[in-house]
Structure 1
């Protein structure tokens, strides 16, 4: 085993002896220079060595193994002309599989005819994906359980053709419950193949997986903190209870004190929908990541967020509630929940939310690791980011644990206090209070049922069923009325009188153009007219209805005069 320190100066992509088509695709993506982990790992993987990549979230690990994988396929096709599946990429969640597939798709933009990749993680019938596997694609992406299902069904056979195995987010594979599937899957692989593990941490699970998969590996470990440095990522906390959290969030968003793409984290799916329905009352559009919906819908939500259709996404960090070590801190809500969740879904880890400026912890994470991975969604690459955590009295001990971890023995406080005067948003509080109470448990349940029903209507697999059973479709469409939250249009506007004086210039309310008589300078007669209205305000209050009636009377008189 060889362990390398990464301290040399970075090279450019064109200096790595990559195929010109890959270099052109990289340039099209706008990647000017490789990251530290990419610059060191790409040559080693191309050489055929087993590699363990250890780098924090957002360091570019996906491209670090995707680029050499594509290069390996292009090198093989120069000497071998028969089509076989040669690279298998495993990831613990469907969203991450979809992300890896999209990265490979972008990198093979100029060589798509020579490199064929498919994603088999979507939970559809095996026979639907069988024709895709018959073509023997060069690269297959999927979860361990899904790949094993296809192998057992006889749709996939890589026992003699596989040349490279890649496992992304290796520290999560066992925690997602794939230990038995992965061990059984390894029995169907050839005895000799190149292996690559990518992980954000070197946990005990990674070490046991390393002994199973890797052979005399090179370990690339970035000597850097778990998250971006304070010069790139700023941490804030704000003491607030439940009602104050809702009021502050409403004020921050409507006064544009938080700008850019934002991810709001809560601890359960129900809280996601409660927050979504709450913000909808104020005209703030958001989307929700729900682990109970199909993976294609979750990936669609992520893509909508990345494309800028939504600037705010609300996500639940449920995996932190399911860790064996967190039994003591599990919430009562998570223990009572009997809903079936997709074990192959994950939000706080692996998913590439692009250009995220802010992370808001509406519910404070339940452990230090969850905080680190939430914060890792922002300040990726060279971008700046911030994390704002609302902390109640019960959550204060968890904040202290995170602060002690981030300090790492230093006396300097890392998580700063967010300077916010609650008394200045008293006008927002009464609006927020009514809106928050309007989102009842029934409203949350009905909102979730509405989304599930919509997916049933859109499901192509059920289309033929509804054609044969139209009564079932009628029952779904004419079900009982939903107890949705009433949206009042006037709440989307922020009246000037509730805005704190210190923030009026910042939010641009003083810049609104108003029609005052002083700004009106036409003729002398009109100036006298507006002067009279100013002296007697009641004169200016003339209803449109009176004007119409008066004009109508004039027309009638003129018409009568013409007849006479």
Structure 2
């Protein structure tokens, strides 16, 4: 059986129809990834799936292709108008939901596939109109889906044939428990169910509640692992010098595209402003930003307008940003599984990448848990402290100016009820000198 899997060379050999093979080819997918090669044949046989694979391994294709093949078969049997609301995909984050829908649309572009994305932070009426067009695929975050099931006239999921839980370990957490229960009660019991995730814990009762029937479990990776092409390092640093080390690393790797992970939304804004004052092209993304601004920041990063994305864990799961060279853990995650997702933003699809974790004296215990989880001791990032501290004066001044700007922006927000603080961040397009001069003018006015 293993030998057969090794021999799979093409999507056609997995049993996909010619239209979908061509769609894969047009997206540049020459050969199936491991999770696709193992999951698709079982899915085409009508089995329920639990798929465990490293992030960046092609999970979306592994569930989207069998669903599209089933939709094509159903459309050939009876008029396609009968196949609205054919599948529902649940995602824990807005960005991942949008990305999944984009991949469905790309794969289904030749068959007039219609999708609807139901996420928070976007106009409810627009989403209701999209549902009125009777899409084949609904991709949603649980809370907003429940909202539409309760309040959008004529919308029901009684006809769906497929339910997908992507990042299933997150969806099976208590945060989504109530919404998930309501959704499971609103859909038919006769359906196919797919659960996919980079990490999976043994939540047996919750998996049973999701109504899987004799599922096939596919492990395309060890339970908690990182890819071999990822170079992982750490550096113990005093908390007071962490900003200096961050600046030093970004300066040393100035040509790289980097993601910097922080623990709080406030830290994303502060670090982005500080780095811009130091002439870096940085932009923040966090859960406190509006959906439009989050997507705007992501698009600027993808387009290369900014090469440093400062983010919270809202960006650690499922975002396919192919060109990331380096991930920096500015704050060590308190949940060690989040480390797997963060560093999975780089070294995707066979490419190499670097992950550096800055560990201060208060984060040591969390870092030890990460090493236990991944089963290896990481090498230390080499840096001469005297070279790093050459940045201290500039970093201190840049941080002072940033704190002052955030304080002023906070005052504007209270007076005008707007989002000037985020606008300050969005105004930057590499024009650091303008930024600094505006800072200086503000300080003179004060």
TM over 0.5: yes
Please say which structure displays the higher CA radius of gyration: 1
Match of 2:201 in 1: 203
TM-score, with length taken from structure 2: 0.86
Match of 1:400 in 2: 368
Match of 1:88 in 2: 88
SS of aligned partner of 1:453 = coil
* Separation of aligned partners in 1, 2:143 and 2:388: 51
* Separation of aligned partners in 2, 1:449 and 1:189: 48
SS of aligned partner of 1:220 = strand
Match of 2:38 in 1: 40
Match of 1:18 in 2: 16
* Separation of aligned partners in 2, 1:201 and 1:63: 18
* Separation of aligned partners in 2, 1:456 and 1:134: 37
- Tell me how far 1:432 sits from its aligned partner: 1.8
- Structure 1 residue corresponding to 2:382, chosen from 391, 397, 419: 419
Is the 1:288–1:313 contact (alpha carbons within 8 Å) kept by the matching residues of 2? yes
Match of 2:358 in 1: 390
Q: 1:109 to 1:448 in 2, by over 3 A?
A: farther
The yes-or-no answer on 1:298 pairing with 2:260 is no
Is the 1:289–1:315 contact (alpha carbons within 8 Å) kept by the matching residues of 2? yes
Shifted more, 116-125 versus 263-272: the winner is: 116-125
Unaligned runs of 5+ in 1: 318-345, 408-412, 459-484, 490-564
* Separation of aligned partners in 1, 2:295 and 2:435: 29
- Structure 2 residue corresponding to 1:278, chosen from 229, 254, 274: 274
The yes-or-no answer on 1:264 pairing with 2:265 is no
Match of 2:393 in 1: 430
Is the 1:89–1:142 contact (alpha carbons within 8 Å) kept by the matching residues of 2? yes
- Tell me how far 1:448 sits from its aligned partner: 6.4
State the number of aligned residues. Answer: 423
SS of aligned partner of 1:136 = coil
Q: Deviations over 1:314-366 (max 9, x none)?
A: 0023xxxxxxxxxxxxxxxxxxxxxxxxxxxx322222232211111112222
Match of 2:242 in 1: 245
Match of 1:65 in 2: 63
* Separation of aligned partners in 1, 2:295 and 2:264: 19
Match of 1:224 in 2: 222
SS of aligned partner of 2:119 = coil
Q: Deviations over 1:278-321 (max 9, x none)?
A: 1111221111112112223223322322232221100023xxxx
- Tell me how far 1:64 sits from its aligned partner: 0.6
Is the 1:4–1:220 contact (alpha carbons within 8 Å) kept by the matching residues of 2? no
Is the 2:244–2:395 contact (alpha carbons within 8 Å) kept by the matching residues of 1? yes
Q: 1:14 to 1:258 in 2, by over 3 A?
A: farther
- Tell me how far 1:150 sits from its aligned partner: 1.8
- Structure 2 residue corresponding to 1:444, chosen from 388, 406, 410: 406
- Tell me how far 1:396 sits from its aligned partner: 2.2
RMSD value over aligned CA atoms?
2.9
SS of aligned partner of 2:190 = coil
Match of 2:180 in 1: 182
Mapping for residues 275-424 of structure 1, pairs under 5 Å:
275-317=271-313, 346-407=314-375, 414-424=377-387
Is the 2:93–2:141 contact (alpha carbons within 8 Å) kept by the matching residues of 1? yes
* Separation of aligned partners in 2, 1:399 and 1:123: 34
Is the 1:273–1:447 contact (alpha carbons within 8 Å) kept by the matching residues of 2? no
Unaligned runs of 5+ in 2: 424-433, 439-446
Q: 1:6 to 1:259 in 2, by over 3 A?
A: farther
Q: 1:165 to 1:405 in 2, by over 3 A?
A: closer
TM-score, with length taken from structure 1: 0.69
Match of 1:487 in 2: 436
Is the 2:122–2:291 contact (alpha carbons within 8 Å) kept by the matching residues of 1? no
* Separation of aligned partners in 1, 2:238 and 2:136: 53
SS of aligned partner of 1:183 = helix
Q: 1:96 to 1:48 in 2, by over 3 A?
A: same
Match of 1:453 in 2: 418
- Tell me how far 1:191 sits from its aligned partner: 2.9
* Separation of aligned partners in 1, 2:192 and 2:210: 13
- Tell me how far 1:456 sits from its aligned partner: 11
- Tell me how far 1:425 sits from its aligned partner: 4.2
Shifted more, 447-456 versus 94-103: the winner is: 447-456
